[in-house]
Amino acid sequence: QQQVKQSPQSLIVQKGGIPIINCAYENTAFDYFPWYQQFPGKGPALLIAIRPDVSEKKEGRFTISFNKSAKQFSLHIMDSQPGDSATYFCVGTSNTGKLIFGQGTTLQVKP
Amino acid sequence: EPEVTQTPSHQVTQMGQEVILRCVPISNHLYFYWYRQILGQKVEFLVSFYNNEISEKSEIFDDQFSVERPDGSNFTLKIRSTKLEDSAMYFCASSEFDWSYEQYFGPGTRLTVT
């Protein structure tokens, strides 16, 4: 199966909070797990990505945690800011470059 | 910074009409993609394209859809006879490396079929 399931659908946090977005996948053939960020009126943009043989990757305030045995991964945003308000997609990537998107999480960070 | 551009930003058409959505990928990219996002739903893969050929297509990409790279810069998606359910945001993307997870998306074309 090629699905990527994402939760929650929406999330509201206060500035400085740590929103967490969770994803689960079924296809063990996925070879990369990127996260894309989308602002209104824009296309999705790559935020951070992880390979399945790595348990954690951190770039700035964004961290991916990866649990290969559970087929789950999550995005944590440390010290969230109002400018982080956007829709976040977890993605599974096939070896042909096809991106399989999760349903998306709309994050609102209140000042 | 180089970016993917798409035209038009919004297209309204009547059911049964043909539409062509246009994209200009980043100039040194060789791999091209179309995705669509029906309002409120997830982004879905339509087709990938390399070396003037379709590399992979989804079950959504039926005979009503076609893609073309008519010159060295444009990449187009044609829908021959639009249906109401084709109403969606269509995103073009390109990547520099083969089958990369790092794809650069355009801002999208909102297609409304009435």
Residue spans of beta strands (DSSP E) within A10-53: 10-14, 20-25, 33-38, 45-50
Work out whether strand A105-110 and strand A10-14 pair parallel, antiparallel, or are unpaired.
Answer: parallel
> Among all residues of chain B, which has the CA nearest to that of A44?
B105
* Chain A CB contacts of B21 below 8 Å: none
pLDDT of A26 strictly over 80: yes
* Chain A CB contacts of B91 below 8 Å: 43-44
Running DSSP on this structure, what letter comes out for residue B34?
E
pLDDT of A1 strictly over 70: no
pLDDT of A2 strictly over 80: no
The two structure tokens encoding residue A9: 């659908």
Question: Using one digit for the tens of pLDDT, what is the confidence trace for B56-94?
Answer: 999 999 999 999 998 878 999 999 999 999 999 999 999
Other CB atoms within a 10 A radius of the CB of residue A54 amount to 11
Q: Is the peptide bond before A8 cis (omega within 30 degrees of 0)?
A: yes
* Chain B CB contacts of A94 below 8 Å: 99
B48 touches A at CB < 8 Å:
yes
CB A32 within 8 A of CB A25: no
pLDDT at B40 (0 to 100): 83
- Which comes out higher in pLDDT, residue A94 or A48? A48
**Three-state SS at A32:** strand
Place of tokens 């990757």: A57
| CB-closest option in A34, A42, A100 to B45 | A100
Instruction: Return d(Cα B65, Cα B6) in angstroms, integer.
Output: 17
From the candidates A38, A50, A99, which should be mutated to test the interface with B, based on the most B CB atoms within 10 A?
Answer: A99
First-residue to last-residue Cα distance in chain B = 37
- Which comes out higher in pLDDT, residue B97 or A86? A86
Give the mean pLDDT of chain A.
94
Instruction: Return d(Cα B91, Cα A99) in angstroms, integer.
Output: 12
For residue A27, the cross-strand partners are: none
Question: B1 pLDDT band (50/70/90 cuts)?
Answer: confident
Question: Using one digit for the tens of pLDDT, what is the confidence trace for A47-93?
Answer: 999 998 999 999 999 999 999 999 999 999 999 999 999 999 999 99
pLDDT of B18 strictly over 80: yes
Q: Which residues of A74-98 are buried (b: 16+ CB within 10 A; e: fewer)?
A: bbbbeebeeebbbbbbbbbbbeebb
pLDDT at A95 (0 to 100): 80
